[in-house]
Structure 1
Amino acid sequence: MFPTVAAWETGASDSNRPGAVEIWDGSLEWMNEETPAPGTLEDPDAEAMDPTGTYERPDNGNYDHPEGAYGVQSWWDYGHWITVHGERIPNANPFQQGATAAANYLLAPNATAAQTALDEKMGEDGQTRYVMIDSQMANPNSKFSAPTVFNDDVSFDEYIDVVYQQRGEQLQPVRLRTQQYYESQMIRLYAYHGSAADPAPVVLDTQQRTVPTRGGGQTQVRVSEGEAQTFGSLAEAEAYVEENPGAQLGGIGDNPTERVEALEHYRLVKASDAPSRNYLNSYRRLQRQTNASAGSLLRNTPSWVKTFEKVPGATIDGSGAPAGSEVRATVPVEIPANGNRFAYTQYATADANGNFELTVPYSTTGYDEFGPDNGYTNVSVRANSEYRLRTASDGALYTGTASVDEAQVVGVDDAAVDVELSEEQPLQLGGQSIQASG
């Protein structure tokens, strides 16, 4: 689901943005009021910690936090804001304590590496409950490069692919993204809200060109040829790329080259009301450079700050799928603060018996039973329907639905949700059988 042109234009007309800390205030106030106080996570009767209080430092330097304590992950720039305005414990702060672990987490290429980075900071017995990412952190033209300075295993160039456009006598750079950018933990959260993200049929033609350097030598660069093309289907786009060696699928805006798998344990729980003007401007510039449509560049509205919760997740045990088929589970989710919607999607492959399993982070019911008063989050981002599951095989469509309770997502109820897919019967129209779309 792409943001509307109205959202795009809203960012353009907002010329007097408040200071950065004020932009974060709404999210930090929400965290202060709608999440459990440190020390009371899952135990409201426990003694709350004072994030700004003074505590005696142990001889070994490792303070033993109470069981209900938790950390908030973000970039170190925002650590003091999280402490003072959110009254929560940041994993990293402007003293650059935790900066390397934060960089490793934000740039982690998969869920295992992300968890390893959290363990590196918190220890295996500690826990991080929330992650806060703002539009500057996700923007390659802003702070995205900062974590690469603290991570010795990567460089900024691995996330960015530069091609050039001929503008008169000059070649001007166009900054595209690599698959590694899309698969970083930070972008999987900010751009996709933890959902799986498939490539869109958007293609940019390029060719290698030898150009002179200022030092009198020569170098090879990629030069884009014409406008970005949007095909009618992904299959058509992939066929075009196969036949044209200089053509590139994706890498433009939020469009990956390959599928980005869903995150099983993270859900969006709060988003700022307004979109980021700077982020939208960077996409508007990319739109002018490639002539791609606005709707083909952005997957979700780029709110200034997005807050995610790390949860155990609910298990969906499925059956009735054709052996080896790919099952897609999708739930529509709404952000009441700004009226925007998105879909969380996850895929699973059925085994030889037609069984499959999913771990999902978004609940569909039971929200009113949980909040800070009983040690949990009062989420402001909520599903407005059940999960819809579907798969197809040999022209037949198999579907099902699943209702997931908040208690199952946060680990209070460990019972799995059982779903058996059933084959949809074709519709009979004018004597012809037409398979329902599901």
Structure 2
Amino acid sequence: MRMYDIIEAKRDGHELTDEQIAFFVRGYVAGKIPDYQVSALLMAIFLRGMTDRETTTLTLEMMNSGDVVDLSALPGTTVDKHSTGGVGDKTSLAVVPMIAAMAPGEVFVAKMTGRGLGHTGGTLDKLESIPGFNCSLAEDAFIGCVRAHGGAIIGQTGNLVPADKLMYALRDVTATVDCIPLIASSIMSKKLAAGSNCILLDVKVGSGAFMKSVPDAIELAETMVAIGEGMGRRVEALITNMDRPLGRNIGNALEVAEVIDTLAGHGPDDLTHEAVMLASELVALTGICSRNEAERRARAVIADGSALAKLKEIVAAQGGDTRVIDDPSLLPQAALSRTVTAPRDGFVAHIDTEQVGIASAQLGGGRLKIDDDIDHASGIELLKNYGEAVREGEAVAVLFANDERKLAEGAATFEAAISYAGAEPPAEPLLYATVTRDGVQRA
């Protein structure tokens, strides 16, 4: 069997056999197949697609390319949450401590997460804004942290789904990110290998998401739910709006500060709403309580401070400097800033959220090339979001960077991404649909 023939077969629109998929995944992980051939196959898959069987086979081969975590020693139900990626989407940082505080001793959040991909931010990059935070716990230490504190957040361990780790980096720089079979296999291979019983998928849709339309987002969600349920896990997906940034802050340290604010009860309404919704759905998915009771608990742990205390506890357990929880100004701070103002009276009528994400990356907060370093202090504070009124000359956003060239480049992209109108635009929902093993329920 030759990799050349596999690339040619998919290029010409043929269905790959289980053996061909196994050959390319195992050969790539073993270092026998070079990046350039895998890049060519990824582009062929992007252009030609995959059948349900191919996608399931790819997922299972990726899952079994390394270690599979055994969480059976934990005394309760294990849960995991994943977002397909968005701009300003820092919900994992809020949801993990919320759930740990909502159901102590009953529900355990064993969260493995990734870095920035394309124009979207990565949870690991955000967490590494906290001085000393260790995202690379060994498996025993990870499970011990989850058992002791109810939750932990780490990156993929060295031998957990190595096939995805390799392909993830290639997809980021070869324009093959937004492809349903590749997204589904990437996400579900990691979620299944991470070992949790219940998985909640937050599938973003809109200008700032990889899925640009609700039907495409539902198709992706159905694919992932079917894969997970077929492997004996409880899986549910929410289709949520990413036609506007989530919250006010975009960029790593800025987003950590906003999560701290949210868990203290002072966060923006949209971020608070989504964090409560996700935490509630995931706890309810375990079956320990009703959806209404789960929502009551989610709101209560914010109101009584226990979710923020749990975040501080988890940060301490993973070696982070807990002083930042009490004083977010201790997070990395940028040396340079620029204020963007409204050119006219009116309303923020449209935000090209993908371009806002690109602007944040240009400022230094993301990767434009595979080997780029992250500037944790850079990013955007959005003072006006979609639908909000503005006056001519009023501040719309403040941009932060540590390099004048990057600041100018990011500012130009950001300003072009915002549109204004004289009339107030229509309100948009935060939730479009819920996808379960029983089907699709529109919001």
Name the TM-score, length of structure 1 as normaliser. Answer: 0.24
Say which one has the larger Rg. 1
Name the TM-score, length of structure 2 as normaliser. Answer: 0.24
Query: Which structure carries more strand by proportion?
Result: 1
